[in-house]
Amino acid sequence: MKIAKQFHWEMGHRLPFHKELCANIHGHSYRMWVELEGGLDPNGMLLDYGILKEKVKPIIDEIDHAFMCDENDDVMKQFLAGSDFKHVMVSFTTTAEHISEYLIRKIWFALQGYTNLSRITVRIHETETAMAETSLTREEFQKVV
């Protein structure tokens, strides 16, 4: 069985390595589908959507209206160090692919106690027409943490 819920947030970023527009400071209205796979509980639920929302919300709150800064981006690091602007330092280039890998680990960590879950899939929509997807089984998650 699979269930999924959509989340959204606004976030700034840039890709310093990019040769065109993405090297500029810009933002996206990110949308994320979190898809859970597993068995049903005796009530016929995989996971209460309310619990899914409650567990994912703090992860989204941390990045909403923030600038996600690659720790190797010295220009932005210097700028942010001298400001109070909300930002999150990460150890990767802030592509949708990397953001999906970053978020799926946090989501698995938050949901690992729900032992009927066997797989989580995360799809990050950076724009209306572009998305990245990653998927981890419980066993794969336990190997990467």
**Residues forming the active site:** 22, 65, 126
CA dihedral 82, 101, 121, 34 (to 10 degrees): 0
- Mapped onto helix, strand or coil, the DSSP state of residue 45 is coil
